[in-house]
């Protein structure tokens, strides 16, 4: 397997901002590999290089003979390993913050085993989750009105001056549907 692709990680990317598309997907080999996830966000795939994150493009897959499904499975496995090695969850009043390493916190939104197995004991019926920026993921119990209000306040504050912004949405995951 290609060494570059073997280090692929799932990376949540905004697909629109304030109703305007922020990611334009070209139909050529230089296009990043993207997979829609939820309203306004998609999964991209990156490799963390010394000079920064490098987006995996369709040409990388073609050169390695890898499908986008194989890339997704590999990148999810790598994200799961990073999570197992470095994940920290801290309670802040009515909400919880998830801490990883600064680039992939929001990506944990798509790691189902985290929500099903590792965090399920922290909520009753489900999760209200925000991912306003790539390095911020917070959640509370889906039924906590005050917790959801706190998440919304946090999102507004992050959007005032944050970078690598993703979404103002509060996403809901019900335990029974996980």
Tens digits of per-residue pLDDT, 106-160?
Answer: 999 999 999 999 999 999 999 999 999 999 999 999 999 999 999 999 999 999 9
- What is the pLDDT, as a whole number, of residue 135? 95
Using the 3D structure, point to which of 59, 83, 107 is the last residue of a domain: 83
**What is the rounded (10 degree) CA torsion for 132, 137, 141, 142?**
40
Q: Do 56 and 76 reside in the same domain of the chain?
A: yes
Q: Do 48 and 97 reside in the same domain of the chain?
A: no
**What is the rounded (10 degree) CA torsion for 47, 56, 137, 113?**
-90
Q: Do 78 and 91 reside in the same domain of the chain?
A: no
Q: Do 52 and 64 reside in the same domain of the chain?
A: yes
Above 80 in pLDDT, residue 22? no
Q: Do 90 and 148 reside in the same domain of the chain?
A: yes
Q: Do 24 and 106 reside in the same domain of the chain?
A: no
Q: Do 92 and 63 reside in the same domain of the chain?
A: no
Q: Do 110 and 67 reside in the same domain of the chain?
A: no
Using the 3D structure, point to which of 83, 110, 131 is the last residue of a domain: 83
Comparing CA positions, the residue from 131, 133, 144 lying closest to residue 94 is 144
Q: Do 74 and 99 reside in the same domain of the chain?
A: no
> pLDDT grade, residue 105 (50/70/90)?
very high
Q: Do 92 and 144 reside in the same domain of the chain?
A: yes
**Phi and psi at residue 170, to the nearest 5°:** -105, 115
**Complete edge-to-edge strand list for the sheet that includes strand 136-141:** 88-92, 95-99, 136-141, 126-133, 170-174
Above 90 in pLDDT, residue 175? no
Whole-model pTM: value is 0.89
Using the 3D structure, point to which of 65, 83, 101 is the last residue of a domain: 83
Residues of the domain holding 97 = 86-177
pLDDT one-digit tens code per residue, 31-87: 899 998 888 899 999 999 999 999 999 999 999 999 999 999 999 999 999 999 999
- What is the pLDDT, as a whole number, of residue 25? 52
Domain count, the chain: 2
Q: Do 63 and 122 reside in the same domain of the chain?
A: no
Q: Do 74 and 23 reside in the same domain of the chain?
A: yes
């Amino acid at each position: 397997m290609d060494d570059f692709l073997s280090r692929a990680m799932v990376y949540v990317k905004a697909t629109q901002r304030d109703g305007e598309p922020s990611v334009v997907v070209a139909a050529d080999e230089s296009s990043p590999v993207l997979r829609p996830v939820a309203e306004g966000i998609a999964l991209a795939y990156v490799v963390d290089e010394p000079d920064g994150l490098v987006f995996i493009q369709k040409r990388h897959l073609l050169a390695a003979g890898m499908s986008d499904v194989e890339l997704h499975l590999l990148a999810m496995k790598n994200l799961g390993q990073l999570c197992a090695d470095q994940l920290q969850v801290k309670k802040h009043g009515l909400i919880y913050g998830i801490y990883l390493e600064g680039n992939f916190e929001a990506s944990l939104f798509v790691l189902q085993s985290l929500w099903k197995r590792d965090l399920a004991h922290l909520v009753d019926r489900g999760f209200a989750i925000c991912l306003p920026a790539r390095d911020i993921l917070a959640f509370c119990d889906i039924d906590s009105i005050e917790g959801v209000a706190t998440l919304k306040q946090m999102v507004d504050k992050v959007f005032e001056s944050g970078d690598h912004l993703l979404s103002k949405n509060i996403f809901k995951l019900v335990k029974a549907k996980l």
